[in-house]
Amino acid sequence: MTYVITENCIKCKYTDCVEVCPVDCFHEGPNFLVINPEECIDCSLCEPECPINAIVSEDDLKDEDKKYLEINTRLSATWPLITEAKAAPEDAKEWENKPDKLKLLEE
């Protein structure tokens, strides 16, 4: 099993989660983070660190969010590794909990 970053992270990109990861499985894109499911050891340390509840256990994914497992897998293969927290985008608060953000994902 792995953890998956879902839609709520798009355009928010809080990085509180990356520093607690013992295996460095987070990757950063222009406006989204992803978890490499091949590297994730299911430790669950990242999940409570996410201030917007964007990190979900693969087993707990809703049907409409299952596509994010494929997105995390695909993008983690090309995006650079991130191991240190950074400041969130200036407008992150405006994007929290907004629906239908997948179309805004910058690959």
Q: Which CATH architecture has domain 3-83?
A: 2-Layer Sandwich (3.30)
pLDDT digits (tens, 9 = 90+) for 47-90: 999 999 999 999 999 999 999 999 999 999 999 999 999 999 99
Please report, for residues 27, 49, 69, 76, the alpha-carbon distance to residue 9 in angstroms, rounded to integers and kept in the order given: 13, 13, 14, 15
pLDDT of residue 1: 86
pLDDT digits (tens, 9 = 90+) for 10-53: 999 999 999 999 999 999 999 999 999 999 999 999 999 999 99
Domain ranges of the chain: 3-83
Tell me what the mean pLDDT of segment 1-17 comes to.
96
Phi, psi for residue 101 in degrees, rounded to 5? -95, -5
d(CA 85, CA 105): 20
Supply the pTM of this predicted model.
0.95
d(CA 83, CA 101): 25
- Average pLDDT over the chain reads 97
Tell the burial category of 77 from Cβ atoms under 10 Å away from its Cβ (0-12, 13-18, 19+). exposed
